[in-house]
Every structure is written in C-alpha cells, then in structure tokens.
Amino acid sequence: MRQAPLLPALAIALPVFGAASILLAWQFLLPWLGVPAYIVPTPTAIFGVFEKNLALLFGNLRPTLVEALAGFVIGNLAGVLLAVLFVHSRMLQAAYFPIVLFFNTIPVLALSPIIILIFGLGMTPKIVIAAVICFFPTLVNMIRGLDSASDSEHELFRVLSATRWEIFWSLRLPRALPMLFSSLRIASATAVIGAIVGEWIGSDKGLGALIIQATFNYQSDRLYAAIVLSSSLSIVLFCAVVLLERRAIRY
C-alpha cells in the first residue's frame, strides 16, 4: 500500500531538520572524532572563508559562470539544431548519428586536453568543453522528443493539410519540450562540471583553478568554499531552467 503524503508543514520541516542535523554533526562530531581540519574543515571555518576572501571567491566565480553559461547555451542550441536536422532527414540521421554516438563514448576528461590543444588556454576551450558535455544528452532527448507525437496526431495534421513547417511548430516542437527540459535540467549541472574540468587542465582563474590551487596549498577551507560556490552555481542554473520550464509547459 502507498503511504499517505506528509503534512505540508512536515514536508518543509523534515528536509530542514535533515540538513541541520548533518551540519551540526559535521560541526561538532567530526572534530570530536579527531578528523583533522585539513581534511574536513568545519562548516563555520568554510563560512569564514566567505567572510575573509569574498573578493577572491567571487572573482573566480565570474569566469566559471561565464564559461558554464556560454557552454550551456551553445551546447544545447547545437544539440537542438542538429536534432531538428536529423528528424527531417532520415538519410542524414542514418549516416551521422552512429558517429555522434561514438563521440559520446569518449570520456570528456580524455577529450579536454585535445580541446585545449586546439583552442589554447583562454576561456574558449572551457566553453567548448562545457558545450560538448551539454550537447549529447540534449541531442538524443530532442530527437526522441521531436518524434514523440502519436500516429493519430500526425494523421490529424495530415487531414488538415498542414505543411512540414506547421507540423514542426505546432506539433513536434511542443511535443518535444518536456524532453528538452529534462535534458536542460541535467545540462544545468553538467555545464558547470565542464567549465571546472576545463579550468583544472589549464587555467589560473575560475573555480576549477581555485580548487586545484587550494588543494596543492592544503587550504582545505578554501577548497570547500569553492566547492560550495560551484554547487550553488549549478543550483541557480537548475532553478532558472525549472522556472523557464514552468512558463513554457503549462499542462
């Protein structure tokens, strides 16, 4: 039997309680157990970095934000456009989709040195890596989404003598939106990963660079602060996608 849903007040209170209990355990239990601060600094120590080094943190957030955003837009746009091309030309899809799938199996970490070789050390290679990560899930989801209209829906448009263009705008695209947004949600997190991975390999600024520097200098409170900031960036992007989705899909 399915359990009854939680009371609204509890549905809010319980996650807050869960997070608070873990933060408290982290703050007091870990030092008591003898876990050294250079491995796991306490939440207050991490918060202290935000007070002391705010300029440093946000100075490094900006390049990562720009790279992740640009990669998100470019990668998803490319995925959507290629999907549109593929569903309108079965020949093109049959010829090139397997190769695209093959490229997808290359781990992005293995691909990034090549991208940096091609594009140098500026922001461009990070944007490209973030775009590549976003590209594949969106391409695959968008192809499936554009093909997801039912036979009778296609027949309805045929009875109405709709053009291909009208079938695309009035049927296929709206049908594809739910699947597009589910891949955009994933991409909101992976775009940040792509930007940070790119910064690891060759950069002196950005959250990825900050993470590497902090690791080598044993500044673990700074490392954790950079991690908190990068996950906040993903969360903000994710929320933006969800807001957009609520406006675009009302049913």
Partner 1 sequence: MANAIEARKLDVGYGSRRQAVKVLSGLDLTVQAGSFLSILGPSGCGKSTLLRVVADLLEPLGGTISVLGETPHAVRSRRDVGFVFQDSTLLPWRTVRDNVRLPLDVGQGRLTRTIDDRTDQLLALMGLAGFGERLPHQLSGGQRQRVAIARALLGQPQLLLMDEPFGALDEITRDRLNDELLALWRRSRATILFVTHSIAEAAYLGERVIVLAANPGRLVKDMDMRPFKQEANRCSREDPAIISAMAELRSALEQAS
Which residues of this protein are in contact with partner 1, per CB under 8 A?
150, 152-153, 155-163, 166-167, 170-171, 174, 177, 249-251
Give the integer Cα–Cα distance in Å for 63 and 45. Answer: 25
Residue 194 CB, nearest approach to partner 1 (Å): 32
CB of 251 to partner 1, least distance (A): 4
39: left (phi over 0), alpha (psi -120 to 50) or beta: alpha
Which residue number, 25 or 156, has a Cβ lying nearer to partner 1? 156
Cα–Cα distances in angstroms (integers) from residue 230 to residues 28, 83, 208, 227, in the given order: 25, 30, 9, 5
In the complex, minimum distance from the CB of residue 171 to partner 1, in angstroms, rounded to a whole number: 7
CB of 217 to partner 1, least distance (A): 53
**170 or 215: whose CB is closer to partner 1?**
170
Q: Which is nearer to partner 1, 65 or 171 (CB)?
A: 171
32-38's contacts with Cβ under 8 Å and 24+ in sequence apart are: 37/220, 37/221, 38/218, 38/220
Q: Is 126 or 172 the residue whose CB approaches partner 1 more closely?
A: 172
**How many CA atoms within 13 Å lie on the side-chain side of 159?**
6
Nearer to partner 1, 135 or 181 (CB): 181
Minimum gap (Å) between residue 177 Cβ and partner 1 = 8
What is the rounded distance in angstroms from the CA atom of residue 174 to the CA atom of residue 178? 8
